[in-house]
């Protein structure tokens, strides 16, 4: 099978690795940490709502910001009304905010799917196409590529990924990514990489990326070997572990991957990450926002529950430094620590769709969330 190069806006990305958009995580400071370890990859922002972009929501404006040294700006949007998506994409392009726009068709949150939005949208084939078309047409004059990310389907009986992939190819989408779980699986169980292989077989004219359960660099190489996909999208594996991108660059360049770092290295990255968040969000909110990252950074380091609790309630940078200073910096990761899950792991969930939703899969009725301005997640 021929592997397609990842080329977006005329730029080729020789290392086929993409940071997955993660709401509440993949903001400027986190992307900066990742980029430091793996320059030249595709790092996607947090998701923003098309409707909020159209309404010029202040919080959203902040979320679409990129750092001055981000030389390729990838932004994810969510929307289920073709008109709003088109207007949002046009506004982003007119203001030269992004070099690449990704669209999220995989959000499994119940409050979204029960209104026919998120991961429920691909069930409606024509609506999905119309959303894609609106985005592509709005971005085309500016040369901004549109990509899409979606799941296998709703559950084992309602499987949509092949239709969605073919539609993307026909509607001018530049690249697609499959999170190889159903919405029902949520984040539980294992990702079904065999569906990535099926998608790669079916979609032959644009790159197909695989997503799900890449915890170590060797997983990414294995996913590409086993499925034939053109690249990988990495989510939870890099939570508290931005050096995973260094490992991925090494693995794809044929270099040895470095052993897991000792705690001293991890603590230094933590302090830098916390400072980054504080610079953007202000000291108080920044340090509070950093708390959730502490648990991820310490995954697999046997620091004890008291230390974990101290990190989880840290209230200032000085306190963070003080806790870090108390620890044994030579501590190493427990065996197998690399593969301990971080971030969401819950699932399966019961997916509720609107009444009668499956009766006509070709209608163009807009989901009730179409003008929603605040949804998060994928
Ligand atoms: C905290 C968190 C937030 C997420 N937010 C989004 C999002 O905004 N958009 C999206 O497409 N996927 C989102 N996802 C899903 C990831 O992009 C990815 O598809 C999923 O985590 C599976 O990949 P992984 O096994 O490498 O984590 C999110 C996942 C997590 C853990």
How distant is the alpha carbon of residue 288 from its chain centre?
A: 22
Question: Which ligand 1 atom lies nearest to the CA of residue 234?
Answer: 26
For the question of residue 107 being annotated catalytic, the response is yes
In this prediction, residue 58 has a pLDDT band, given cuts at 50, 70 and 90, of: confident
CA 326, 329, 331, 337 dihedral sign is positive
21 lines ligand 1 (CB under 6 A): yes
pLDDT digits (tens, 9 = 90+) for 127-144: 999 999 999 999 999 999
Report which protein residue has its CA nearest ligand 1's atom 21.
235
Residue 313 burial (CB count, 10 A): 10
Tell me how far the alpha carbon of residue 22 lies from the centroid of ligand 1, in angstroms. 5
145 lines ligand 1 (CB under 6 A): no
Which of 34, 93, 107, 148 does the annotation list as catalytic?
A: 107
Q: What distance in Å separates the CA atoms of residue 34 and residue 238, rounded to the nearest whole number?
A: 8
| 245: nearest Cα among 105, 44, 7, 77 | 44
pLDDT digits (tens, 9 = 90+) for 199-215: 999 999 999 999 999 99
22 lines ligand 1 (CB under 6 A): yes
344 lines ligand 1 (CB under 6 A): yes
- Judged against a pLDDT cut of 90, whether residue 25 lies above it is answered with yes
pLDDT for 2 equals 84
Residues above pLDDT 70, as percent of the chain: 99
pLDDT for 372 equals 80
pLDDT for 378 equals 66
pLDDT for 94 equals 96
**Structure-derived torsion over alpha carbons of residues 207, 213, 216, 219, reported in degrees to the nearest 10:** -60
Global pTM reads 0.97
Report which protein residue has its CA nearest ligand 1's atom 22.
212
> Looking at residue 351, what DSSP letter applies?
P
Residue 33's alpha-carbon distances to 242, 271, 321, 378, in angstroms, are: 6, 11, 18, 22
CB burial of residue 125 (10 Å; 0-12, 13-18, 19+) = middle
Q: What distance in Å separates the CA atoms of residue 186 and residue 181, rounded to the nearest whole number?
A: 7
Q: What distance in Å separates the CA atoms of residue 7 and residue 16, rounded to the nearest whole number?
A: 10
């Amino acid at each position: 099978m021929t592997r397609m190069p990842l080329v977006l806006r005329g730029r080729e990305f020789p290392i086929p690795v993409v940071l997955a958009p993660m709401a509440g995580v993949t903001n400027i400071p986190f992307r900066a940490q990742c980029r430091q370890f793996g320059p030249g990859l595709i790092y996607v922002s947090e998701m923003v709502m098309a409707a909020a972009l159209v309404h010029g929501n202040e919080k959203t404006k902040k979320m679409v910001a990129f750092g001055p040294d981000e030389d390729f700006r990838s932004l994810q949007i969510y929307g289920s009304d073709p008109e709003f998506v088109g207007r949002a994409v046009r506004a982003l392009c007119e203001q030269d905010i992004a070099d690449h726009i990704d669209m999220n068709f995989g959000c499994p949150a119940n409050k979204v799917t029960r209104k026919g939005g998120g991961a429920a949208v691909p069930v409606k084939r024509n609506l999905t196409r119309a959303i894609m078309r609106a985005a592509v047409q709005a971005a085309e004059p500016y040369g901004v590529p549109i990509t899409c990310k979606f799941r296998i389907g709703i559950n084992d009986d309602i499987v949509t990924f092949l239709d969605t992939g073919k539609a993307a190819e026909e509607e001018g989408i530049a690249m697609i990514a499959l999170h190889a779980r159903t919405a029902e699986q949520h984040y539980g169980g294992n990702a079904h990489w065999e569906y990535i292989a099926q998608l790669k077989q079916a979609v032959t004219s644009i790159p197909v990326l695989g997503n799900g359960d890449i915890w170590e660099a060797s997983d990414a190489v294995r996913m590409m070997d086993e499925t034939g996909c053109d690249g990988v999208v990495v989510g939870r594996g890099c939570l508290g572990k931005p050096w995973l991108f260094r490992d991925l660059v090494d693995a794809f360049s044929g270099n040895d991957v470095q052993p897991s770092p000792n705690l001293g290295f991890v603590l230094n990255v933590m302090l830098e990450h916390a400072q980054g968040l504080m610079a953007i969000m202000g000291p108080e909110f920044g340090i509070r926002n950093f708390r959730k990252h502490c648990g991820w950074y310490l995954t697999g380091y046997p620091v004890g529950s008291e230390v974990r609790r101290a990190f989880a309630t840290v209230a200032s940078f000085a306190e963070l430094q003080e806790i870090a200073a108390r620890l044994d910096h030579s501590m190493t990761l427990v065996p197998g620590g690399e593969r301990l899950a971080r971030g969401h792991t819950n699932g399966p969930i019961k997916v509720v769709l609107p009444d009668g939703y499956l009766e006509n899969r070709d209608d163009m009725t807009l989901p009730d969330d179409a003008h929603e301005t605040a949804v998060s997640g994928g």
